[in-house]
Every structure is written in structure tokens, then in C-alpha cells.
Structure 1
Amino acid sequence: MRSCRLFPILSASNALDYWVGVYCKGEFTKCARHDRLTRGLTVAPNLLPNGKKI
């Protein structure tokens, strides 16, 4: 998880626990970042696990 480039951005907010619980420790196959990585695609640093951008 800590290798995820989004981790440092979210670690400054209360949202980190939510994202980690839902996607990293839960339904990681539904994570947009995981999906792009496993398909060999570039992952934008601002891409959230739900596919939205910040």
C-alpha cells in the first residue's frame, strides 16, 4: 500500500482509512489504480481508487 503514489497525498487527511479499508484491504480488484497497473497502463497520480480524479 505504501508504494501507491496516492498514499502520501491521502495520509494527510482522514480519508486515508476509508480508501485503504474499502479498496486496499477490501475490494482491491475494483480499484481503478490497481486495474490500470495490472493492465500495464499509466496511473495518474491524482486518480482515486473509485476512478475519479482529485
Structure 2
Amino acid sequence: MNLNVTIDWKFVLALGGSVAGVILATKADSDGAERVLAKTVDACKESVVAVNSNH
């Protein structure tokens, strides 16, 4: 019986993001977590705007 397991970059990225989220949730205080989340959302919005304006 052959079993092939394919691990691509998206899987690794999702796994790393979930581990980082768990660490952030357990170690950080609520104010720090809120600041990090706000900065992450702002960075993602800027990235989306930059990609969409290049068309």
C-alpha cells in the first residue's frame, strides 16, 4: 500500500499562522493582542490596495 503525502507552502503557512495565533492568545495581554491584530489588519489592507491598484 502506497501513501503519498504532499506538503506545500500553503499548508506550512497555515500551520505556522495557527501556532502563532495560539501563542499570541496564551501569552499576550488583551491590549497587546489588540494592537498586534490591528497592525496586521492594516498591513493586509495596504497589501490588498497595492495589489489591486497595479491593474
Give the TM-score normalised by structure 2: 0.35
User: Which structure features the higher share of helix residues?
Assistant: 2
Question: Which structure ranks higher in relative contact order (CA pairs < 8 Å, sequence separation ≥ 6)?
Answer: 1
Give the TM-score normalised by structure 1: 0.36
Q: Specify the structure having the higher radius of gyration (Cα).
A: 2
